[in-house]
Amino acid sequence: MNTTMHTTGVHVRPELLTVADTVARDKGIDRDEVLEAMEQAIQRAGRSKYGHEHDIRAHIDRNTGEITLARYLEVVADDAEIENEHTQQPISRAKRKKPDAEVGEFIIDPLPPIDFGRIAAQTAKQVIVQKVREAERKRQYEEYKSRIGEVVNGIVKRIEFGNVVVDLGRGEALLRRDETIPREHFNNGDRVRAIIMDVREEQRGPQIFLSRTHPDFMVKLFAQEVPEIYDGVIEIMAAARDPGSRAKIAVMSNDSSIDPVGPCIGMRGSRVQAVVGELQGEKIDIIQYSVDPATFIVNALAPAEVVKVVLDEEKNTIEVVVPDDQLSLAIGRRGQNVRLASQLSGWNIDILTEAEESERRQSEFQARTQLIIDALDVDDVIAHLLVTEGFTSIEEVAFVPLDELASIEGFDEDVAEELRARARGYLERRGEELNEKRRDLGVADDLFEVEGVSAEMAVALGEKGVKTRDDLADLAGDELVEMMPPLLKMSEEQANEIIMAARAHWFADEDAAAEDAAEDGAE
């Protein structure tokens, strides 16, 4: 951009640089931002004096403090439409002032320095204060945005409806009531320590949100108290909290010669007690982490003893068997111990006593035995042998390799062949019965054709009023799981896959409609 300017209308105010330096230092913002705010204030005063329709600009020399005030006129072609005669000028007129003027450059007319009146001075002050505040907010947002997850110390400034406003020195933060530990109370002037959970840029300025209940707060406190964690020798792998009551952390040592639990506890419990004190007496269980889920969950359920563990990776569930007298200890008060262990490990934990597990297994054994007796028309000895060998369904008997079935003690190839034939005959008859029942219930063929839906499942859905593909597609995963009888148990993940398969035609219809719309648009 070419500009032409005369050197009149200059006003030297070196004290402005001193003021800018002081404000920048006090507010922690850039000196140029303060000077830009001053320039805008002078511009506003100039427009108030000479007319708001003019393009009046001010400049403060960064070295001398000289103030230059001028009016800018853009040079446009003679045949161009003049949008604002106060800010634009045809080139023919511009050449009278500057013979070599060109389209696109600015003719700059210097203006005399402004003698600030009371109103003008007040306006200028407001502009400067506003711009400095905006710069301060921007600096505060950038500073604290990078500190999310950091533990900070502050002083309680005021309390609003149970929410605590904390002065962090270079900004204010909000500790909401639901992020404070239950039963803790703050007064103005109290020191408070919390973790920065979020920083948001809002209209009224950056909002810094703190938390004292998040598991990461406890993790950071341990890192401050335990040098081995800070140095990375010991690593905190997971943490779970019931704020103000109880917590669990899982620790692992990267040095095989160092026990991860001992250093976290400290001499006579000094380190863990420092964290407990900060968390208002919250009891903390320090657990050794293990990559083996079963071992890890056994550790997580401490102090309860565990007799047996059964994992179901498909359902992300683990069954834990404990002695009868350990059940209440394993579950904890109001389910606290098992809930924290579940949060810590990421597994759904079902706790059974030895008596309950024995009773359930016996019941399952009897149910499977009776199913085989009824389906294959065999005596209970053969049925017991099949169940003991791990056969849980008629499908397994029908399609197992013949040599595997014949290898069972007391069986030979003839017996194995006969069992397979009976199993396949039963499945065929059962399939015809279920299809007939499905049709009697009014279950549409399109539902039965959805991938993952068996005849048994179609009948179960029909009995619950789900009779079309769209009915199935409208369900949520947990609703489908609840509709299934015990023999058709499935995980929520499996249920979601079936529902998405049922919805596939919806997306196909949407794609087809979009293609038709695109073709119509092209025409």
**pLDDT bracket for residue 202 (50, 70, 90):** confident
The 10s digit of each residue's pLDDT in 120-142 is 456 556 666 776 777 677 777 77
Three-state DSSP state, 79: coil
CA–CA distance from 49 to each of 56, 69, 165, 449 (Å)?
10, 12, 43, 81
Q: Which residue, among 38, 42, 43, 46, has the nearest Cα to 21 in the 3D structure?
A: 38
User: Mean pLDDT over residues 171-182, rounded?
Assistant: 87
| DSSP codes, 206-267 | EEEEEESSSHHHHHHHHHHH-HHHHTTSEEEEEEEEETTTEEEEEEEESSTTS-SHHHHH-G
Separation of alpha carbons 321 and 357, rounded Å: 7
Q: Quick one: three-class SS letters along 82-151? A: CCCCCCEEEHHHHHHHCCCCCCCCEEEEECCCCCCCHHHHHHHHHHHHHHHHHHHHHHHHHHHHCCCCCE
pLDDT at 194: 92
| DSSP codes, 474-505 | TS-HHHHHHHS-GGG---HHHHHHHHHHHHHH
Residue 523 has pLDDT above 80, yes or no: no
Separation of alpha carbons 480 and 490, rounded Å: 9
Query: 207 CB contacts (<8 Å, ≥6 apart)?
Result: 174, 199, 200, 201
**Phi, psi (deg, nearest 5) at residue 89:** -150, 135
Q: Quick one: three-class SS letters along 366-416? A: HHHHHHHHHHHCCCHHHHHHHHHCCCCCHHHHHHCCHHHHHCCCCCCHHHH
Residue 91 has pLDDT above 60, yes or no: yes
User: Mean pLDDT over residues 402-429, rounded?
Assistant: 81
Mean pLDDT of the chain: 81
User: Mean pLDDT over residues 503-513, rounded?
Assistant: 69
Query: 22 CB contacts (<8 Å, ≥6 apart)?
Result: none
pLDDT at 1: 46
User: Model pTM?
Assistant: 0.58
Q: Which residue, among 299, 298, 202, has the nearest Cα to 260 in the 3D structure?
A: 299
The 10s digit of each residue's pLDDT in 277-331 is 888 888 999 999 999 888 898 888 888 888 888 887 777 888 888 888 888 888 8
User: Mean pLDDT over residues 138-148, rounded?
Assistant: 80
Structure tokens at 410: 């007391």
